Structure 1
Amino acid sequence: MRRLRLAYTILLLPIGFSTIPALAAPVLQPHRAVYDVFLGKASERSGITSIDGRMVYEFNGSQCEGYTVRFRLVTRIGTADMMRMTDQQTTTHEDGQAENFSFATKTFIDQQPEQEVKGKAHRQKDGISIDIDQPEPVEVRLGAAQFPTQHMIDLIERAQKGESFYETSLYDGSEDADQDMLTTIVIGKPGLTGQDDPEMSVLSGLEKEESWPVDIAYFKHENSGGGEETPDYRISFRMHSNGLTRNLKMDYGDFTMNGRLVDLALFDMPDPKACKK
């Protein structure tokens, strides 16, 4: 069973205030979001008969001190022959200038350690350099790419400006941490939350905010040389004007997995006076 890299990438879209000036960068709101995960559809070739689980994403920090993300995804994946539980735990830190990024991921299968990946990435003039510490020391050099929080701040800003399509590269330290991905992003027209929306009760007043439908397709660079390539995977979700991400759909080709927001906690904002430049 392939590791579900996509789930972590989706949630690196922090919550931001909707009252910021039009030309200011989003001010990110520390928070914890909890999602129920379940199977959308699966082909016979996938062999999957059921998926259920929970995803927890916790975001803290500021542009001054940098952004820390703690993420955990626990799923039970059923086939005709067996039921397997996977547990992915990731912690990352990205500085406020998007110059340095550290990552550590542990993966368990049926409560037994499966893989541990740990390292750091640094921005250089001509790309990014990566020092992987685990599972074994490796140095990797890649072309220009955005780190996760930078990637999603860019998405928020483009949506607020009314842009509908663009491409960029993303490095998030997932899987074996030795590749970046080309992302193509489609942003739909904003709209209000309907009264029949299943996540309405969790939004705590945010239902009055406009939200955008967003679709992101991820391509490995060696497979993105032009033409009608099939993405390695894709995600879609609704992004509120304050940046809240919900109504998730993760498409892996042979199967899809959905995420429904079931709990949202907003933490105290960092004191801007504590940031001395």
Structure 2
Amino acid sequence: MRIARLALPAFLSLPMLGLAPAQAAALVPHRAVYDLALEQAFDRSGITGISGRMVYEFNGSACDGYTVTFRFVTQIETADSARMTDQQTTTYEDGDGESFSFVTRSFIDEALQKELKGTARLSAGGNPAATVVSIEKPETQELQLEATQFPTQHLLELIRKAEEGDSFYETTLFDGSEDANKVMTTTVIIGKEAPVPANDPEAEAIAPLSDDAFWPVDIAYFDMESDEGEELPTYRISFKLHENGVTRDLVMDYGDFSMTGRLVDLSLFDAPENCAE
């Protein structure tokens, strides 16, 4: 399952080419905690219940680069059994968006099932330009994929588009998820900016942002390598996005089932000092 798409937050793909450092510094370092719950499940999924918690921590700046630590723990129930999944991811992206490193460990019932470790870099010297991925674990491998962008740049692009009033655009993303062997096409729909209502279900958690407006966003992710014509997205996420990069009120749709992520705790950290000129 493509569980940790949010960077990612969102997040993980929340995540601009040619962006000035002063603009990039608008992303606030923070730690966000979400309670997860099953929204709906089709019979073919076999899932009868999901509960869990997601913790997302974002740090860094355009000068120092951006670090994300992400943990996604779920208790998945079926008619016959229950299992606990635990995905732990750490990524680093340089401030220019030219290199990206990632480590993901996936556990089922506390037993390590998979460890994925690697780096990716944009190579402008070739014709055409490419994304070169070097995987260390589970086995050494080097791949050359289409030129793209990494998660923080994807997020910055989204915020810029929202501020400019764009409501729909298409772009691409590499985030190191699954087997780190694909560039995804993303289609992004941005709704109108709105204030936080007084009766917002997440009002307590977002108290520091209660005076800030947000954009409703929907992102669909498609496999660029698919040969099918009218393909369905492999994953879809909708959320509320604040100008500083905080995301909340998540709905994560995996096709056979979907789950919600409700923000229950938010800690804002001091922003790093501005880049030296």
| Superposed pair shares fold, TM > 0.5 | yes
Per the TM alignment, residue 207 of structure 1 is displaced from its structure 2 partner at its CA by 2.1
8 Å Cα contact 1:37-1:258 kept in structure 2? yes
The structure 1 residue matched to 2:137, chosen from 134, 139, 142, is: 134
| Structure 1 residues 227-268: Cα deviation after superposition (integer angstroms, max 9, x where no partner) | x32111100001123322000000111110100000000111
User: What residue is the counterpart of 1:209 in the other structure?
Assistant: 212
Question: Is contact 1:14-1:244 (8 Å) kept?
Answer: no
Match of 1:270, as an amino acid? P
SS in 1 for 2:231: coil
Compute the TM-score of the two structures, normalised by the length of structure 1. 0.91
Amino acid of the residue matched to residue 65 of structure 1?
D
Give, in whole Å, the separation in 1 of the partners of 2:86 and 2:196: 32
1:172 to 160, 172, 175: 175
- Tell me if the contact between 2:24 and 2:61 (Cα under 8 Å) persists in the aligned partners: no
2:191 is matched with which residue?
188
User: Would the aligned equivalents of 2:173 and 2:186 in 1 still touch at CA under 8 Å?
Assistant: yes
* Per-residue deviation, residues 200-248 of structure 1 (Å, max 9, x unmatched): 111124122211110000000123765x321111000011233220000
Question: AA paired with 1:66?
Answer: G
Structure 2 length-normalised TM: 0.91
Once residues 244 and 227 of structure 2 are traced to their aligned partners in structure 1, the CA distance between those partners, rounded to angstroms, is 32
> 1:93·1:103 contact (CA, 8 Å) conserved in 2?
yes
Identity %: 55
1:143 matches 2:146? yes
Give the AA of the match of 1:12: F
Separation of aligned partners in 1, 2:104 and 2:175? 11
Work out the number of aligned pairs and report it: 267
Matches of 1:63 and 1:182, distance apart in 2: 25
Look up the match of 2:254: 252
User: How far apart in 1 are the matches of 2:252 and 2:234?
Assistant: 11
**How has the CA–CA distance of structure 1 residues 173 and 201 changed in structure 2, closer, same or farther, with 3 Å as cutoff?**
same
Moved over 6 A (4+): none
Q: Tell me what 1:60 maps to.
A: 59
Verify: 1:231 aligned to 2:230, yes or no. no
The one-letter code sitting in structure 2 at the alignment partner of 1:51 is I
Unaligned residue ranges in structure 1 (runs of 5+): 16-20
Q: Which structure 2 residue ranges, 5 or more long, are not aligned?
A: 15-19
SS, match of residue 9 in structure 1: coil
CA–CA separation in structure 2 for the residues paired with 1:242 and 1:170: 20
**Partner residue of 1:18?**
none
**Aligned equivalents of 1:162 and 1:217: distance in 2?**
19
Is the CA contact 1:14–1:59 (under 8 Å) kept in the aligned structure 2? Answer: no
SS at 2:154 equivalent:
helix
CA distances 1:97-133 after superposition (whole Å, capped 9, x unpaired): 0111000000000000000000000111101101000
What's the counterpart of residue 73 of structure 1? Answer: 72
* SS of structure 1 residue aligned to 2:157: helix
Taking the aligned partners of 1:25 and 1:221, their CA distance within structure 2 comes to: 28
SS at match of 1:179: coil
